Structure 1
Amino acid sequence: MTIEYSGTGDPARSLALLWRTRERPSRRGGDLTVARIVHAAIEVADAEGLAALSMRRVAERLGVGTMSLYTHVPGKGELLDVMLDTVHGETARPDDVPGGWRGRLTQIARENFALHLRHPWLLQIATTRPPLGPQVTAKYEYELRAVDGIGLTDLEMDSVVTLVTSHVHGAVRGAVEAAQAAQRTGMTDAQWWQAHAPYLEKVLDPRRFPLAARVGTTAGQEYQAAADPHRAFEFGLARILDGIEVLVRDRDTTTGHTEPATDR
């Protein structure tokens, strides 16, 4: 799988595109704009995968010449940054999430999980140097507000948000791979399991692999698959929140902060 990297474009040009500080009027390509180009690029990546994304392919989707894109977008590096920033604007950011900070972090994690399911190509872009655009910044601001005022230091707040979103990034990969496997093979996980389970029972010796046989059989019967990525995501998220709750409780004893972890 090819990995792309955000932040590879020219910094001045990328930031100008991200914040639309110098959008030029179109001289060719009709009503071509940065927004139209970016949305077409996202459609290509969603439908055909990141490997298919190129300036030429985007131009074909828009029905314009490839060179007309460069009037608005300097190159693929800058385009990827604006694509990332654009899709990160899709996450819902309600102010009235029940459940205290724990409920807020749960809502954020589930929104990020759903975002990656809608745009699986996000998993193919390394964002250790994230696009510093308005949507990414607004999303980060919202996520920090989930843990603001509960007794954590600024660095701990950043670490908590990173911990939760990193869990999402790892957990959603299994869900994306399961969905893609079903699309490309024409067989669901349940169908695959039903086809393989009877043969596995014949060859798997429970005396040699007692735990694998017992636990694997229980899990397989429950999931009707080798794994359940959605259940793994929720289980891992709950355990992460349990750990954060210990940290917050420790802070409570020294600061006197009284916000409940949840509304339970």
Structure 2
Amino acid sequence: MDTPPYARIAGDIKRRIADGRLRPGDRVPSTRQLARDWGVALATATKALALLAQEGVVVAEPRVGTVVAEARGRGARRPEISGPMSGPVSGHDVTRERIVRAAIEIADTAGLSEVTMRGLAERLGMATMSLYRHISGKDDLVLLMVDTAMEDFPLPADQPPGWRAALETTARLQWAAYRRHPWLAGATSLMRPLPSAGLIKHTDWVMAALADTRLDATAKMHLQILVYSYVQGIAANLELERRARAATGLTDEEWLSGQENRMRALSESGHYPAFAQLIHELGDFDLDLDRLFEFGLGPLLDGLARLID
């Protein structure tokens, strides 16, 4: 009996691991790449990676993709989110900064919802109540986390000339912070903003850049919120994807391949001709959030120029 295509693909990846071409922690080809290389459907490529995952050969890593697992079956370079960081320490040796940094590490790996005072204390190897000598509670902790994360991407000491350069600078720095810390985009909302010094610095930066324009105070505030929302809105998908991958074990490409038949049925139903034409013209489209951010930032600033100049 012929070996099924998905099994042949899985066998090839195993051979590449065995002979050292792929090592623990290396990213394996995506479902789309496998489909192209082997001339098979995305569903077949997905089935091959699913088989390897079931056998413990590969593992899905958040914000990385599917990688070769360690020989013992655990994901390569997977950060632990429990247990002491460097052995037990006494409460007076733990600084507020270390507590906040530990909380950020947990959030970066597992999301903001996994940051609890009890889990944080376990990670630091100390009693939970000892944390409250440094942090008043979860709300205080989140505020400190946001400030610290933003401070890792400081605004320049001198503001560039012109409002456009200033707004582009703040947008790019915020995007960099969200890329480093995906949970950050969901830590605050427009309707209930955090009193964060790290975020207010960006508001102050924008207001200074707009000081000599013809805009009134309300228009300036709307403009600042609009730029902030543009960056935050795209960045929110970073954390949403991390959660989805953790819940399903599938990368975005693997999930999309599972929807291929349904999407094809919709496009071929005759009810959505414009959508069908778009799918036909797009071909093999891969959504890249960095490219999307760049694609929209310039036109956004162009549109604001009509209000400002």
Quote the Cα distance in structure 1 between the aligned partners of 2:140 and 2:303: 38
What does 1:186-201 align with in structure 2 at a 5 Å threshold?
186-187=250-251, 189=253, 200-201=263-264
Aligned residue for 1:126, secondary structure, equals coil
Query: Which runs of 5 or more structure 2 residues have no equivalent in the other structure?
Result: 1-89
Once the 2 structures are TM-superposed, how far is the Cα of residue 186 of structure 1 from its aligned partner? 4.6
Per-residue deviation, residues 31-85 of structure 1 (Å, max 9, x unmatched): 2222222112111211221221111111111111111111122211222222222
Amino acid at match of 2:293: F
Quote the Cα distance in structure 2 between the aligned partners of 1:45 and 1:117: 13
Per-residue deviation, residues 127-179 of structure 1 (Å, max 9, x unmatched): 44444344333332223333332333333222211110011111222344345
Q: Bigger shift: 154-163 or 119-128?
A: 119-128
Q: Give the match for residue 136 of structure 1.
A: 199
Q: Give the match for residue 72 of structure 1.
A: 134
TM-score (norm 1): 0.69
Q: Among residues 220, 225, 241, which one is paired with 2:301 in the alignment?
A: 241
Per-residue deviation, residues 228-252 of structure 1 (Å, max 9, x unmatched): 4334333333332222111113xxx
Q: Among residues 58, 72, 79, which one is paired with 2:120 in the alignment?
A: 58
Quote the Cα distance in structure 1 between the aligned partners of 2:266 and 2:116: 48
Q: Give the match for residue 290 of structure 2.
A: 230
Which gives a bigger RCO, structure 1 or 2 (Cα 8 Å, sep 6+)?
1
Q: Bigger shift: 52-61 or 111-120?
A: 111-120
Aligned residue for 1:64, secondary structure, equals coil
Per-residue deviation, residues 173-230 of structure 1 (Å, max 9, x unmatched): 23443455567635353x6556765885577327432111111333353x33xx4433
Identity of aligned residues (%): 33
Q: Give the match for residue 93 of structure 1.
A: 155
Q: Taking structure 1 as reference, are residues 98 and 67 closer, same or farther at Cα in structure 2, changes over 3 Å only?
A: closer
**How many pairs are equivalent?**
218
Quote the Cα distance in structure 2 between the aligned partners of 1:187 and 1:147: 42
Q: Give the match for residue 210 of structure 1.
A: 273
Amino acid at match of 1:152: L
Quote the Cα distance in structure 2 between the aligned partners of 1:202 and 1:133: 48
Amino acid at match of 1:60: E
Would you say the 8 A contact 1:206–1:214 is kept in 2? no
Q: Bigger shift: 35-44 or 153-162?
A: 153-162
Would you say the 8 A contact 1:34–1:73 is kept in 2? yes
Amino acid at match of 2:111: G
Would you say the 8 A contact 1:92–1:111 is kept in 2? yes
Amino acid at match of 2:100: V
Per-residue deviation, residues 82-135 of structure 1 (Å, max 9, x unmatched): 222222222331256768322322222222122122222223333444443443
Q: Give the match for residue 148 of structure 1.
A: 211
Q: Among residues 238, 249, 255, which one is paired with 1:185 in the alignment?
A: 249
Quote the Cα distance in structure 1 between the aligned partners of 2:155 and 2:165: 13
Aligned residue for 1:30, secondary structure, equals helix
Quote the Cα distance in structure 1 between the aligned partners of 2:160 and 2:293: 20
Quote the Cα distance in structure 2 between the aligned partners of 1:220 and 1:154: 46
Amino acid at match of 1:240: L
Per-residue deviation, residues 1-42 of structure 1 (Å, max 9, x unmatched): xxxxxxxxxxxxxxxxxxxxxxxxxxx613222222211211
TM-score (norm 2): 0.60
Quote the Cα distance in structure 2 between the aligned partners of 1:179 and 1:48: 8
